[in-house]
Amino acid sequence: MSSTPSIFTKIVAREVPATIVAEDDRVIAFEDIAPQAPVHVLVVPKTEAYATVTELAAGDPDLLAHLVATAQRIADERAGGQYRLVFNTGERAGQTVFHVHAHVLAGDLQEGTLAS
């Protein structure tokens, strides 16, 4: 893990602004700044201990379950419960921020990749 805080850690610390849609003591969810669907929300654990979903699943499966439950609540509120949940794992798969996060996508998806 890099010694430089990720952009998501800076959002958690309120050092970088974001449109926050949900938050509790374990996760934060905010609108993507480059949405690829009518609903595009990122759900991010407040810890940066895990770079990928695989690391999170192995290290804290309860936190992963909480993240997924948060994604479901957001989809229920914003998209009638119909959504895609995407985790990019690795640079060649489109991951650009190595602080695990899920993309909640709903509605008509735009062409292109899901990077971050």
Q: Which residues are catalytic?
A: 101
Contacts of 13 (CB under 8 A, 6+ apart): 5
Are 46 and 26 spatial neighbours (Cβ–Cβ below 8 Å)?
A: yes
Cα separation values, 46 from 76, 79, 84, 100, 109, Å: 22, 24, 22, 10, 27
